[in-house]
Amino acid sequence: MISAKNLTKQFISSKKKPGLLGALESLFYREPVIKNAVESFDLEINQGEMIGLLGPNGAGKTTLMKMFTGIIVPSSGELKILGHEPAQRHKEFRKNIALVMGQKSQLWWDIPAMDSFLLLKRYYEIPELEFKQRVTEMAALLNVESLMNIHVRRLSLGERMKMELMASLLHSPKVIFLDEPTIGLDLVAQENIRQFILDYHRKTHATLIITSHYMADVQALCQRLVLIFDGKKAFDGPLKTFETILGNDKIVSFQFADSLTEDAALFADFSPVYQEDRKGVELKIPLEKLRAVTSEALEKFDITEFNTDKMPIEKVMKTLMTNPQLLKRHSL
């Protein structure tokens, strides 16, 4: 469905010295600055996959999405989506992809969502019967039947996002790009959007590429992750592999009956993080030492509660964003 080889996108800007003299000098010479937003990027995605595209701000995620959808043209390399070159914007290509950007709207704010859907129906040449069926089914799944004829600008953020999803999926695209689909939404709205995407995927087996800074989106929707740092692919593999990329350490938290007066020597080697009142501590313990450390802690301290969990994906991602060099020891 998607094939990218040595994909590169460069943006060229220019430096200008400050002040009037700098402005005059820039009339005759501007020092060029070349930035590789995406560099030598390779990617293969098969039909029906749900891929999480992750990375820090400025890493190149949105640039990739825009190249995948033909909004911007690659500087070099090969890119094929459904057998088409996206930048050529062939009609058949446009009818089989969808792009949802959480920070940008494709609906007209001053008319009801249904009027926008009717315009999109004409644009994508959707048969009348199919259009009515799709609108009815998606409106029911998203619980927005009563909102279809209300002006978009009067809807809440979560309601507008649901309408954006409907607008993007009316033509039953084979490849869907979701760029921060739950940004700014409350927890209930986020869960509703995720469930809708999962239901839609089960029904259509469409290929989805998702970017999000909410790791809950990634864990709920994606089985495979692709990481991009400074425009380069840094990791490509299953979610389970990513979760153990920093090792098989377990996150263990202890709650004590009384505050500890000083740091416990037993916890010193496991990156202890004490609560402010010192009635609790969180540790990162290697799996092979977990039983011994917890047993000793239960004997030495008056512990009222303790929990263990695998390294959460949020901590893995935060650690890698702080120190991307940790990824060098893992093959792509």
- Residue 315, domain member (yes or no): no
My answer on whether 148 and 271 are in the same domain is no
Q: Are residues 108 and 223 in the same domain?
A: yes
Instruction: Give yes or no: residues 200 and 268 share one domain.
Output: no
> Where does a domain end: 238, 262, 292?
238
Asked whether residue 218 falls in the same domain as residue 79, the answer is yes
Contacts of 181 (CB under 8 A, 6+ apart): 100, 102, 161, 165, 193, 197, 210, 212, 217
Three-class SS state of 71: coil
**195 lies in the same domain as 256:** no
pLDDT score at 327: 62
Helix axes 128-142, 157-169, angle to 10 degrees: 150
Question: Is residue 323 in a domain?
Answer: no
Predicted pLDDT at 331: 46
Instruction: Show the beta-strand stretches assigned E in 74-130.
Output: 76-81, 97-101
For residues 229 and 254, state if they share a domain: no
Domain boundary among 184, 212, 238: 238
Q: What is the CATH number of the domain that holds 283?
A: 3.30.70
Q: What is the mean pLDDT of each run of 10 residues along the chain (332 residues)?
A: 89 79 77 84 90 83 88 90 89 87 78 90 89 88 86 85 86 87 78 85 89 80 85 83 70 82 78 81 79 83 78 66 61 45
Residues 184 and 210 reside in one and the same domain? yes
Residue-range definition of the domain harbouring residue 228: 45-238
For residue 127, the domain's CATH number is 3.40.50.300
Instruction: Tell me which residue has tokens 């098989």.
Output: 248
Same domain, 108 and 76: yes
CA nearest 67: which of 75, 57, 55? 75
Q: Indicate if 199 and 297 belong to the same structural domain.
A: no
Count Cβ neighbours within 10 Å for each residue of 20-50 and write b for 16 or more, e otherwise: eeeeeeeeeeeeeeeebbbbebebebeeebb
The per-residue pLDDT for 295 is: 85
| Domain count of the fold of the chain | 2
Look at residues 3, 44, 57, 55 and name the one whose alpha carbon lies nearest to residue 327.
55
For the chain, counts of helices (H) and of strands (E):
11, 13
Q: Single out the residue of 315, 309, 313 nearest to residue 253, CA to CA.
A: 309
Same domain, 84 and 192: yes
Residue-by-residue DSSP string for 181-211: TTTT--HHHHHHHHHHHHHHHHHH--EEEEE
Residue 332, in any domain of the structure: no
pTM attached to this predicted model: 0.73
User: What pLDDT shows up at residue 38?
Assistant: 87
Report yes or no on 59 lying in a domain: yes
